[in-house]
Chains A and B, each alone.
Chain A
Amino acid sequence: MVTRRDLLKMGILGSSGFVTLPSGGGFGRVSRFFDHNNQGSSPRLTPFVDELPGTGNSPFQTLTNVDPFSNVQDYAQPFCGPRTHYYEIAVVERNVKFHRDLPPTSVWAYVDKWGGNIPDRLITFQYPKIRLGQQIGGGYLARVHNFLTTAPRDFGFPNVTVHFHGGHQPSPADGFPHDISNRPSSFPAQVTIPVGGFHDYAYPFADVGIFDGPIEEAERPSTYWFHDHFLDFTGQNVYRGLANIAPAFDELDAGDETASDTLALPSGAHDIPLVLMDKTFDISGTMVFDPFNGDGFLGDTMTVNGVVQPYCRVQRRKYRFRFLNGSNARLYQIFATNDLRQTFPMTQIATEGGLLGHPIRNLQSFSLFMSERVEVVVDFADRIFDGQQVVYFENRMAQSDGRKPDGVSSRGTKLVKFIIDPATVDDPSRVPDTLRPFAPISAAELNASEHRSFRFDRRHGVFTINGEPVDIEKPVSIVQRNKGQVWTFSNNSGGWWHPNHVHSEFMRVLRRNGRTPPLNELDGNAKKDTILLKGGDKVVVYVKFRDYPGPFVTHCHNLEHEDMAMMGRFDVVD
């Protein structure tokens, strides 16, 4: 196992930026706290013995449609109409298997309340196909029940709140972290869910501008996720299992590769979500966590869709892979590789803000920081895969410290194995040169915008925004609805890296450290809901808050940093 100290000793760890590490580094197997105490490393497990959940013989359930509720919570009633679909999700403690050779271990999980025989996996269901661009009176109404108990536990807080990440939804449906006293009269006194309680989440899936106009179809995302957001305990609760992914579609990206009047991206069984999370298990197979690690908890065992290093059988054709980094503090650098450590090109088609304007082809690897989504298409029928029977997605980012990664190596941890069926198959799917084109924010709009700065710092062991520790009862910003915002994020907190997430709307990245940002975040090609701030970074973004007034938050998506109060509340007002 190579620790940060070893790297320093070997003289190959720079003070900043990436270095190339020697091959064979044991990353993905480091958890700081447990190492210091010389205990707690996970059992070594044989990789690629479990099937990737969501594929093949390990399918996800489809969340059960239920009858409309007669007692929908007040705030949500105006969003419910004849075309609204109703669902019930239960937050439960259950025992699941992460690996063939691990005994069932306790997690907290979202399950379908009416799901019947629920698989003994962490991630078990998907929402029915989400259609974007709906009118008010449609959408989903999800009632989330908290069926946890208050029994003593090693970590986690059994009150919950659900953030539908990437969503543009009413403030009371956004999963606010805390029940606040200082709130608008329209904001409920209680939005978190105590043990035994429930909350109604109205997800209109309406376009940005549905109330405030103009309609902005370009703002449609393609991969949401949802996760716990309880104040000071988000990292513990998400690590315990409260996270899931939610693909979304519309008439352009219809999820039907045979429909030639759509983009016809790979669909159905060829559209695969990949939720990456790192976990640590003790010798008895129990999932463990360190609630006192404020740097960022790193697990030493890699899971995809809730299973340790699974395998997946694929055909010789194109696949769409929706990557989500659901880890608390681990950053990934993803490569498509084989056993000879050759790498294969991918085509990026989307990020957390939805489809790119134009695909990024011949991508050799991509970074994936916490909460980020990257969608790629891999064509296993391409000649470059001739003769290949096995291909992996591999993480080559080494990280031994939750504060930031060590660097990219020439060899990493294989996350998921694809076994390619040699037979030739028809592939009607394609990746057009234009996906969801949109214009960058105009100079006129930028000129009319309000400018604000958010300086992230660390003093007295406390994260600060503009020099002050935050307080969830006090907004760091009061933002006028429909008024363009140019926000400058700067990270002065030394060697700490912070992926900063803004709720409710996507950001357009204008400048990164004074330069034009790369294509995968540049305004005019990409939209983002999370921006990586490496040590010393300064990033300028444009964002505008429309349709939904009320309190929201912006925060670091290193969940331990978030729980150490690296989170500012902002109130959208008229």
Chain B
Amino acid sequence: MGRRNAVLFVCGVMVAAVAGGARPVTSAAGQAQSAPSSRLARHFPNVPLRTQDNRDVRFYDDLVKGKVVLINFMFTTCTSLCPRSTANLVKVQELLGDHADRDVFLVSISVDPDHDTPAVLKRYAERYHTRPGWTFVTGKREDVDLIRRGLGVRDNDDQSQHTGMLIYGNEAFGRWASTPVMQSPATLAAIVLRVVDPRANGG
């Protein structure tokens, strides 16, 4: 016990607690922390993926790092939720306006990577008239599963069970949450835009 605590004290960041004194509290008083990317990195396995344009990318380095990103899981032969989800996200992308492809990116990850080759994904994206800033990716099934688990999408039923939530976040600022894909596009766009520039006021 004592040894463990001794280690704690040596390693611990010893910082002074806030001392308010007689003055009112007027501002935050926290210490600088390590960048969120370093702590959350394990959630974003940097696995190789291939895009609908047959481009090799790494999940973390190329699709997530430093970005505001909307991530969903889908597969092109899905006939229930995915078509409606994709159609809904097309409207969301429109509502994002200038943010799309500038500072907000969409990533759709196939959970049926054996079938969903880059060419299949390309046709799928074209059918929905997705705009630049929306990447469809496929890869090795075990790599996709790594991503899924990293992002907490753990339902162990059939693959259609992974498809209903939109994971959104701002990697640089460490703000991550999720919300159902099938909300009104306006609600979704508003919710997502909250994390785009955390320095801007207005919820």
> A interface vs B, CB < 8 Å?
33, 36-37, 43-44, 46, 88, 90, 92-97, 101-104, 106, 111-118, 120, 147-159, 161, 178-179, 181, 190, 192-197, 230-233, 236, 283-286, 288, 290-295, 459-463, 469-474, 563-565
Picked from B152, B195, B201, the residue with its CB within 8 Å of the CB of A294 is B152
User: Does B79 sit within 8 A of A, measured CB to CB?
Assistant: no
Smallest CB-CB separation from B81: which chain A residue? Answer: A460
Whether the pair B203, A159 counts as a contact (CB closer than 8 A) is: yes
Smallest CB-CB separation from B188: which chain A residue? Answer: A471
The answer for the CA separation of A288 and B92 in the assembled complex, in Å, is: 33
The secondary-structure label for the interface of chain B is loop
The answer for the CA separation of A285 and B33 in the assembled complex, in Å, is: 13
Interface centre among B28, B31, B81, B174 (most CB of A within 10 A): B28
Given contact pairs A232-B177, A471-B183, A473-B186, A93 touches B164 in the complex (Cβ within 8 A): no
Can you list, as one digit per residue, whether each of B141-185 has a CB less than 8 Å from chain A (1) or not (0)?
000000001111111000011111101000011111111111110
The answer for the CA separation of A236 and B176 in the assembled complex, in Å, is: 10
The interface residues of chain B lying within 8 Å CB-to-CB of A197 are 201
Whether the pair B13, A284 counts as a contact (CB closer than 8 A) is: yes
The answer for the CA separation of A290 and B180 in the assembled complex, in Å, is: 19
The interface residues of chain A lying within 8 Å CB-to-CB of B1 are 44, 46
Whether the pair A461, B39 counts as a contact (CB closer than 8 A) is: no
Picked from A115, A120, A230, A471, the residue with its CB within 8 Å of the CB of B187 is A471
Interface centre among B20, B24, B176, B181 (most CB of A within 10 A): B20
Whether the pair B20, A157 counts as a contact (CB closer than 8 A) is: no
Smallest CB-CB separation from A563: which chain B residue? Answer: B177
The interface residues of chain B lying within 8 Å CB-to-CB of A161 are 203
Which 5 pairs, one residue from A and one from B, show the smallest C-beta to C-beta distance? A460-B164, A103-B12, A292-B152, A462-B164, A469-B180
Whether the pair A461, B165 counts as a contact (CB closer than 8 A) is: yes
Smallest CB-CB separation from A159: which chain B residue? Answer: B203
Picked from A154, A283, A472, the residue with its CB within 8 Å of the CB of B11 is A283
The interface residues of chain B lying within 8 Å CB-to-CB of A233 are 175, 177
Picked from B27, B31, B42, B186, the residue with its CB within 8 Å of the CB of A181 is B186
Whether the pair A292, B39 counts as a contact (CB closer than 8 A) is: no
Given contact pairs A232-B179, A292-B176, A461-B153, A103 touches B20 in the complex (Cβ within 8 A): no
Interface centre among B165, B174, B180, B203 (most CB of A within 10 A): B203
> How near does chain A come to B39, taking the closest CB pair, in angstroms?
5
Whether the pair B17, A120 counts as a contact (CB closer than 8 A) is: yes
Whether the pair B150, A292 counts as a contact (CB closer than 8 A) is: yes
**Looking at the complex, which of B2-10, B53-61, B97-105 is the stretch in contact with chain A?**
B2-10
Whether the pair B17, A96 counts as a contact (CB closer than 8 A) is: yes
Whether the pair A232, B12 counts as a contact (CB closer than 8 A) is: no
Interface centre among B8, B26, B40, B191 (most CB of A within 10 A): B8
19 of the cross-chain contacts (CB-CB < 8 Å) are: A43-B5, A92-B18, A93-B28, A93-B30, A94-B17, A101-B5, A101-B8, A106-B33, A116-B20, A147-B27, A153-B174, A154-B36, A195-B198, A232-B179, A294-B153, A460-B162, A461-B162, A473-B184, A564-B178
> B interface vs A, CB < 8 Å?
1, 4-5, 7-9, 11-22, 24-33, 35-36, 39-40, 42-43, 80-81, 149-155, 160-165, 167, 172-184, 186-187, 190-191, 194-195, 198-199, 201-203
Whether the pair A461, B22 counts as a contact (CB closer than 8 A) is: no
Whether the pair A153, B33 counts as a contact (CB closer than 8 A) is: yes
Given contact pairs A90-B25, A116-B20, A103 touches B180 in the complex (Cβ within 8 A): no
> How near does chain B come to A434, taking the closest CB pair, in angstroms?
45
The answer for the CA separation of A202 and B22 in the assembled complex, in Å, is: 27
The answer for the CA separation of A152 and B15 in the assembled complex, in Å, is: 19
Picked from B24, B43, B151, B160, the residue with its CB within 8 Å of the CB of A113 is B24
The interface residues of chain B lying within 8 Å CB-to-CB of A115 are 20, 25
Whether the pair A95, B203 counts as a contact (CB closer than 8 A) is: no
The interface residues of chain A lying within 8 Å CB-to-CB of B8 are 43, 101-103, 283-285
Interface centre among B36, B180, B195 (most CB of A within 10 A): B180
Smallest CB-CB separation from B149: which chain A residue? Answer: A36
Whether the pair A152, B36 counts as a contact (CB closer than 8 A) is: yes
Whether the pair A194, B202 counts as a contact (CB closer than 8 A) is: yes
Smallest CB-CB separation from A289: which chain B residue? Answer: B39
The interface residues of chain A lying within 8 Å CB-to-CB of B29 are 92-95
Smallest CB-CB separation from A191: which chain B residue? Answer: B203
Whether the pair A470, B24 counts as a contact (CB closer than 8 A) is: no
Whether the pair B20, A118 counts as a contact (CB closer than 8 A) is: yes
The interface residues of chain A lying within 8 Å CB-to-CB of B173 are 150, 152-153
Picked from A33, A117, A149, the residue with its CB within 8 Å of the CB of B30 is A149
The answer for the CA separation of A115 and B23 in the assembled complex, in Å, is: 8
Whether the pair B31, A92 counts as a contact (CB closer than 8 A) is: no
The answer for the CA separation of A292 and B153 in the assembled complex, in Å, is: 8
The interface residues of chain A lying within 8 Å CB-to-CB of B181 are 462, 469
Smallest CB-CB separation from B175: which chain A residue? Answer: A157
Whether the pair B25, A111 counts as a contact (CB closer than 8 A) is: yes
Whether the pair A471, B184 counts as a contact (CB closer than 8 A) is: yes
Whether the pair A95, B177 counts as a contact (CB closer than 8 A) is: no
> How near does chain A come to B45, taking the closest CB pair, in angstroms?
12
Whether the pair B180, A104 counts as a contact (CB closer than 8 A) is: no
Whether the pair B24, A148 counts as a contact (CB closer than 8 A) is: no
